[in-house]
Chain A
Amino acid sequence: MSSGIEILANQEYKYGFVTDIESDMIPRGLSEDTVRLIVAKKNEPEWMLEFRLKAYRNWLKMTEPRHWPNVTFPPIDYQDIIYYSAPKQKTLKKSLDEVDPELLKTFEKLGIPITEQKQLANVAVDAVFDSVSVATTYKEKLRKHGVIFCSFTEAIREHPDLVKKYLGSVVPTNDNFYAALNSAVFSDGSFCFIPKGVKCPMELSTYFRINNSESGQFERTLIVAEEGASVSYLEGCTAPKFDKNQLHAAVVELVALDDAQIKYSTVQNWYAGDEQGVGGIYNFVTKRGKCAGRNSKISWTQVETGSAITWKYPSCILQGDNSIGEFYSVALTNHAQQADTGTKMIHLGKNTKSTIISKGIAAGRSNNSYRGLVKVMPKAENARNYTQCDSMLIGSECGANTFPYIEVMNNSSRVEHEASTSKISEEQLFYLQQRGIPQEDAVSLIINGFCKDVFLHLPMEFAVEAQKLLGMKLEGSVG
């Protein structure tokens, strides 16, 4: 192909700056004392200490999953991580005016509006900087509708009963190595509660930012939609460029009761490391939703473009009869990135339905795997699953893998899986170029067409961003 595209150097990771802000950090390392110190720093009640210590003790007994995913990385020294880092600012912030201007500037630079008056989009934002939530917008407006949207710290303080009831109910503390670690040391995150019958009036969003080079980020998100409630939630993430790998081990739990709907969208753009694969975030995340009630629905949409390693399987436990689980994913890897991502759909209730659409794009020397499980239990009569996983390879140095696990235990269910792998064909490119479309636009068009089935499910602003992101990430990789 022409050298035109080769000249287009890979666009710099534009979120790679570091904010110079004084931080309150605890010494590196992890022990029961660290857990106690975090609890003390955050002024948490006794039951939280118990929850964390239980998780920590479980974690000690677990071994790191190093062999089954299709990823390789050097051993992580869990004692060399700072488990709590908070930007120093005025102790109590009554309004946004009191948030450190340096922080506001950071989020503005990232394009995240946390000053409400400047904001056009109808989105409430919780901004998380390293270990703590620095600002949550539109709280008052949401409160009028009975919606609780706040940082996790505040939720533990203000709504302990709700947190106690649902925390760890979907992802137990002994679920897996990283979930246990998160449960022991998680610093902050978002809590969201939509009461019975309420349709959340605006989209909720959390923006995660890692700033400190030595700290890991361990946040926790808990979303509960009561009977008949519905909510759409967005998540975005960026981090500065460091030569060192950083660990991000988050846990997201969703609970949908009868007739409730939760839509969770992610655009993940953590720093992916440089072309040689130096630095970048290890994104080891546990996300799971439970359709606990009848006719409930949980829908995951993700666009994964960042991180040196992505290890995440947003899953649905379809417990309630007639519940629906959906998973729409675009995972793009370039240079030396590795992604092992997919979903789990566990069908327990009758007439449960799940749909999985996964699009993997691998470029450079990257490795992109889809790994999914569809499990239909004996009592899940008339369960239905449709899975489609398509991969696109750009260049001959990359790898695309598909590992679907399908386990069906009754005969009234129907499960289908389809996968294909292809490359951008010369003919398609030629056709577009012949009509005067420059090569890089043609590539972008084809890729966007390939991902359309997923982008359709993203909220509008996110879809635009995702398309741009994809184009940007791939620049220079075709040629």
Chain B
Amino acid sequence: MISEATKSQGSYQNAFQTLQANGAGPQRVPWIERLRESAMERFEQLGFPAVQEEEWKYTNVAQIVRAGFLPLTATGEVSAAVGEQQLAAFTYPEARASQLVFVDGLLRSELSSLTGLPEGIKAVDFATALASDPFSELLREYLGRIVDYGDNGFTALNTAFIGSGALVVIPKGLAVETPLQLLFLSSSTKANLAAFPRVLVIAEENSSATIIESYNSVGADSYFTNAVVEIVLKDGARLEHYRVQDESTESFHIANTRADLGRNSSYETTSINLGAKLSRHDLSVVMDHEGAECRVDGLYIIGEGQHTDTHSVIDHKQPHCTSHQLYKGILDGKSRAVFNGKVFVRHGALGTDANQTNKNLLLSNEAHVDTKPQLEIFADDVKCAHGAAIGQLDEDELFYLESRGIHSDLARNLLTYGFAEEVIVRIKVESIKTQLDEAVLNRLHARLEA
């Protein structure tokens, strides 16, 4: 095991060397180069996380280590052409003219379209951002400063391979109605490809916007996505952030998202996990200014052979912030879900209102759930609660429906659908709602037919 981990680490090091020699564009900017070098150094020290570490206790990443994935930038190849038709399947109608498309981790501007966005909002790749003054300054101020790569090997690895990436800036006071979609696609033309998507979102004072971050795959091969998304909300900004992970069930997906909330800002996020053989999402929301509020929802629906892990940290550092978290999971087949939610209420964060709920529905006897909602509270004038539940469909509820002539299979479907609906109804983008409704129902139908 150790030797394999070292070997795999070595192949990333080689890839990094290649990049150092052949890199171009943003990778050649001195401060980015320094950031990447220091991140690589950190990755060399940390290596891949092991199950002995408390944060990785329930998720074994040995498969990712063994597979020896390599980034496209290091192989010198170009990813295959992706046709518009293929894209259409993964584009949300609301964002047809407001999307950035990344293929295998690299931004493809010819596939992207931003005509539907109002004047003022900026959604550009790092190379373009670096060419103009205010944006290059913003990039320098925030890139790699929001998500900490110091304690997570995967985040360090992503940072070491920063190259193509997207900067989204919503200027002061601008309200953007049209959702912006960031679509991350895996082309699956080359086996064992690693992609390192990177996004920085800055919502300036009193702006408001909606962002959809989605992960899909054209093929069904084994590949590895390692994404890092950094979000800054300035005072009074509002952001709705949807994250839909629907990768191939042969793939591996590791992601780290952090949002820093300004005074009286509002951050609403929903994370959907449907795909990937193994997925892990680290999500932090830091409230270091008074009056911020966030709603952090999640839904995972997994089946045979899938493993999903969510580690969230909601950090109340200042008074009068509010957080509401609801994560629900439906597990079928031999699958495993992990939820680890930490809520910190720091010293002096009076008037905090925090609640956290994780509920899991086990449809199969081989499904396995490990949940750990945690509260760490260091202030007295607060209102905090958390809850977790693991169970199956209620026999009484089933009986009630059956007694009214509804077939037991249909009754089961109705109840399962109802379970997921609590999260789905709060989504404001219609097409995501529809997608999820279908995902829930399709899975149930597949189950019925089986």
A: residues with CB less than 8 A from B are 68, 378, 391, 393-423
Contacts of A395 in B (CB 8 A): 380
**Judging by beta carbons under 8 Å apart, are B377 and A391 in contact?**
yes
Check B35 for interface membership: any CB of A closer than 8 A. no
* Cβ-neighbour of A411 out of B362, B372, B381 (below 8 A): B362
**Judging by beta carbons under 8 Å apart, are A393 and B377 in contact?**
yes
Check B64 for interface membership: any CB of A closer than 8 A. no
Asked, given contacts A417-B387, A421-B375, whether A407 binds B369 with beta carbons under 8 Å apart, the answer is yes
Check B389 for interface membership: any CB of A closer than 8 A. yes
B361-413: which residues lie under 8 A (CB-CB) from chain A? 362-365, 367-392
Check B183 for interface membership: any CB of A closer than 8 A. no
User: Shortest distance in angstroms between A160's beta carbon and chain B's nearest beta carbon?
Assistant: 41
Asked, given contacts A403-B372, A406-B369, A417-B389, whether A411 binds B363 with beta carbons under 8 Å apart, the answer is yes
CA distance A416 to B347 in the complex (A): 29
**Judging by beta carbons under 8 Å apart, are A403 and B377 in contact?**
no
Contacts of A418 in B (CB 8 A): 385-387
User: Shortest distance in angstroms between A421's beta carbon and chain B's nearest beta carbon?
Assistant: 4
**Judging by beta carbons under 8 Å apart, are A416 and B374 in contact?**
no
**Judging by beta carbons under 8 Å apart, are A398 and B380 in contact?**
yes
CA distance A359 to B390 in the complex (A): 22
User: Shortest distance in angstroms between A414's beta carbon and chain B's nearest beta carbon?
Assistant: 4
User: Shortest distance in angstroms between B388's beta carbon and chain A's nearest beta carbon?
Assistant: 4
CA distance A422 to B381 in the complex (A): 7
The 7 closest A-B pairs by CB, nearest first: A411-B362, A393-B380, A421-B384, A414-B391, A420-B385, A417-B388, A402-B375
Contacts of A423 in B (CB 8 A): 380-382
Chain B interface size band reads 35 or more
Check B103 for interface membership: any CB of A closer than 8 A. no
Closest to A385 in B: B390
Can you offer 23 A-B residue contacts whose CB atoms are under 8 A?
A: A393-B379, A396-B347, A396-B350, A399-B378, A403-B374, A405-B370, A407-B369, A408-B370, A411-B365, A411-B392, A412-B365, A412-B392, A414-B389, A415-B390, A416-B387, A416-B389, A417-B388, A417-B389, A419-B386, A421-B375, A421-B382, A421-B385, A422-B383
**Judging by beta carbons under 8 Å apart, are A413 and B390 in contact?**
yes
Check B449 for interface membership: any CB of A closer than 8 A. no
Contacts A395-B380, A405-B372, A418-B386 known; list 12 others, CB within 8 Å.
Answer: A398-B380, A399-B376, A401-B376, A404-B372, A404-B373, A409-B368, A411-B392, A417-B389, A420-B384, A421-B385, A422-B383, A422-B384
Contacts of B368 in A (CB 8 A): 407-409
**Judging by beta carbons under 8 Å apart, are B390 and A401 in contact?**
no
**Judging by beta carbons under 8 Å apart, are A396 and B387 in contact?**
no
Closest to A394 in B: B380
User: Shortest distance in angstroms between B385's beta carbon and chain A's nearest beta carbon?
Assistant: 4
* Cβ-neighbour of B377 out of A378, A408, A414, A421 (below 8 A): A421
Check B348 for interface membership: any CB of A closer than 8 A. yes
Contact with A along B136-149 (1 / 0, CB 8 A): 00000000000000
**Judging by beta carbons under 8 Å apart, are A401 and B363 in contact?**
no
**Judging by beta carbons under 8 Å apart, are B377 and A401 in contact?**
yes
**Judging by beta carbons under 8 Å apart, are B385 and A411 in contact?**
no
* Cβ-neighbour of A396 out of B363, B381, B390 (below 8 A): B381
**Judging by beta carbons under 8 Å apart, are B388 and A411 in contact?**
no
Contacts of B392 in A (CB 8 A): 411-412, 414
Contacts of B77 in A (CB 8 A): none
Asked, given contacts A411-B392, A412-B392, A413-B390, whether A399 binds B372 with beta carbons under 8 Å apart, the answer is no
